[in-house]
A and B are shown apart, each in its own frame.
Chain A
Amino acid sequence: MIQIQNLTKSYSGFRALDALTLDIPDGELFCFLGPNGAGKTTTIKILTGLVHPDYGTARIQGLDTNQHATDVKKVIGYIPDTPFLYERLTTSEFFLFYGELYDIPPQTIIHERDRLFATFGLDNHRSALVRNLSHGLRQRLIYATTFLHNPPVLLIDEPFVGLDPYTIKLIKSMLREHTNQGGTILLTTHILAIAEDIADRIGIIHKGKLIAEGTLPELQTEHQGASLEDIFLQVTYAKTEETSHVRP
């Protein structure tokens, strides 16, 4: 469960988030859409503790992200668009390291490594150094390690960058499985088809404000049955027009 109240963040006078309020209940996959620089990544970074908000609060599983930072980190899994990995570790060592960070018993780590490496097609790369992996394999590795400690809340920034169709399908089904088991997912993307495909609820953020929110049918009803693409363009263009007279 994620609860965001009046979250505000400015960078040198630029307002990245403007009193953002949002609730994502357990078992929901919430998809954040928005143009570049809208505030999607800032929101996720505040939830992970990487960025400190100017005002407002964020709670994950009832824990304030500022006051209980270490406890919050134990219940989240964060997948950035370009994740940092230790280049001089093998995939197997990286997985072991990750499990130990979360105090998972060694037997469980080994069992989960076998299972997740088989699932993500990493079996043949166990002894390969991370530095020698392709972008797609790195992404698979970060997904495999994130699922290791089975975090109830997943925060994913651009989930399918550089992945092949098989892995995309696999991850979609794993995300769906995660929410079916009561997990919460906040996912940001620019690809509208992904949102249409997997989101339980969609939020459109623009200039730090949540300007549209609801399930896909709810949004379509509000906008006379338009496609998500049209809805996105309509609402972001209307907001741009309000502030400047430049077409997007």
Chain B
Amino acid sequence: MSAPSALWQKTRFQMINALRTMFRQSRLKQTFILSFILIFEAFLLLLFRDGFRFLSAFGGAGVIITGRIFALFFLGLAWMLFLSSLVSSYATFFGSPEIPFLLVRPFSMQQIVLYSFVHATTLSSWAFFFIILPFVGAYTWHQSLHPLFVLWTIVFSIPFLFLCSSLGALFVLCTVRWLPKPGKVRICLLGLLILGVFLAATIRSDSQAEDNMQFNLATMIPGMRLAVHPLSPGYWMAEGIMTLTRGHMRRGLHHLALLLSSAAVATILVEQIGGKVFYPAWQRTRATGPTRRKPVMLPHLLNIRTLLPADLAAIMSKDIRTFFRDPAQWTQALIFFGLLGLYFSNLRIFHYDRLPEQWRSAMTFLNVFAVSAVLSSMGARFIYPQLSYEGHSFWMLGLSPTSMTRIVLAKFLLALITTGIVSISLIFMATRSLGLEPQIQQAALAVIAAVCLAVCGLSTGLGAIFMNLDEHNPAAIVSTFGGTLNIVLCLCFMLAAILPFGIIFHVRQIDLHTHFMRFLPLAYGWLALITMSATLLPLWLGYHSLLKRDF
């Protein structure tokens, strides 16, 4: 058996063992996780189906939008996959402890790069199927399409995944290999920006000749022009699936062949270019000596010590430094919140501020929903594993002259300050851009502040209760029972906090004579009550769990 075959066999063994371990877990836990997945998928399915029904209600324009929405959906997924691939490729190529192991075994660089690329693609694509299946299912249901539609979507998805992921992997490999000094980075970013604007302008001018309806549609829906551009892989995918489902085999297979050949070329490029640049790039990531390390926000962190007690400041500044020195962590946070920031800052460009009051009010609470959803995933990804990240060095905190309360408090405060600043600023920016009345602005800000408190409290508290000091992989820490419970509770809280306000303001906009606004103080009271419970209770339980633990 050759070395690459041994590697694939090893992966098979790992998967079998992971499944065995999963099946050995308690029935309650298995049932809970499975039920959660099914409920979540069913919820998405119904949500997407209602979305399609809503669009159909618009008549002709709705039909066109529904037809085009597939292309738009896959354009969005292509971006998501590309961004996700940036993070997972960096972590797999340059952060994985497996790479030094493979480098000293009889593998060629191409083999290591190809293996790591497939690994990174798998990591970055699990959410893809989680989203795509209910979407495609809802579309099939709504349009009364043949069930083959779902099958074709899966067939088209695999080359699509590899195509998007290979672009991310190539970008990461080349950037790490040739990333210029900081001064030149700005020049490169500017160059990329100019290139992006140029490409966007080209696509815009190309589509001027298209029919009127599509032109109007493109002005209504951001990204539509790019989504239906013949060179967009999202368009190949959408058009291919649609035509195959309608029985136009030749045109459908043409698009499949287009996707397959592009994915194959992109994968070969990753293998060949990666084979040449990976080793020097890997050396660059290791080429930091013990003598010099740039301080991360050192001057500002020193100021924390004047504001906070020494032990809290020490733990918080250690965590900030660790976070900023791990590109896999801060890039994910940047992508999550950066995209939201980009969207909110463009609300006026999309002319959403000119929409009727009723729509703007609904949009505000949808924005709060979006930021809260991101906060929940941030809580699961970064706040929940905070204590587990301490790993075997937890003894150092345990032996230090500070109490467990203060350790938990330091983790909670750091999470609250960082997520609070970002999310409250985002919602402030969104409500200002939409030009809303102060009452709605205040409600939106109060809700997001409450969600921040609850997500930080729940994630820190549950992170302490389900702390796992033996696990070093953040993905493994998050995907445990505690991690799943954490995200479920955060999402439940989010709904419980947002819905009352959303309903009150929505009903008021529909019927101005209603006395529904008298429920507003009640909604604030409800918000205060659930926020206190979701923040203090888990922190208290987490603290007691830490006290009972042996380290």
Contacts and interface: CB of A to CB of B under 8 A. Distances in A.
A84 B101 contact: yes
A58 to B, nearest CB: 14
A97 B104 CA distance: 15
A11 B290 contact: yes
A12 B293 CA distance: 9
Contacts of B437: none
Contacts of A52: 279-280, 283
Contacts of B3: 100-103
Interface in A78-116: 78, 80, 83-84, 86, 88-90, 93, 97, 100-103, 106
B13 A12 contact: no
A138 B285 CA distance: 28
B17 A129 contact: yes
A124 interface: no
A10 interface: yes
Interface string B79-119: 00000000000000000011011011111100000000000
Contact of B288 (A12, A48, A101): A12
Contacts, number: 91
Interface stretch (B4-12, B382-390, B488-496): B4-12
Nearest to A130: B17
A13 interface: yes
Contacts of B26: none
Nearest to A78: B104
A74 interface: yes
A113 B285 CA distance: 37
B107 A70 contact: yes
Interface residues of B, number: 34
B339 interface: no
B184 interface: no
Contact of B100 (A13, A50, A74): A50
A205 B101 CA distance: 26
Contacts of A14: 289-292
A10 B100 CA distance: 20
Contacts of A73: 104-107
Q: Report the contact-size class of chain A (Cβ under 8 Å from the partner).
A: 20 to 34
A195 interface: no
B287 interface: yes
A89 B2 contact: no
B18 A37 contact: no
B106 A101 contact: yes
Interface of B: 1-3, 5-7, 9-10, 13-14, 17-18, 21, 97-98, 100-101, 103-108, 279-280, 283, 286-292, 470
Q: What 9 pairs between A and B have smallest CB-CB spacing?
A: A11-B289, A100-B6, A12-B289, A14-B289, A97-B10, A84-B101, A14-B291, A88-B14, A100-B1
26 contacts: A11-B287, A11-B288, A11-B291, A12-B288, A12-B291, A13-B292, A14-B292, A50-B100, A50-B104, A50-B286, A51-B283, A70-B106, A70-B108, A73-B105, A74-B106, A76-B104, A88-B18, A90-B13, A93-B10, A97-B10, A100-B3, A100-B5, A101-B3, A101-B106, A102-B106, A103-B1
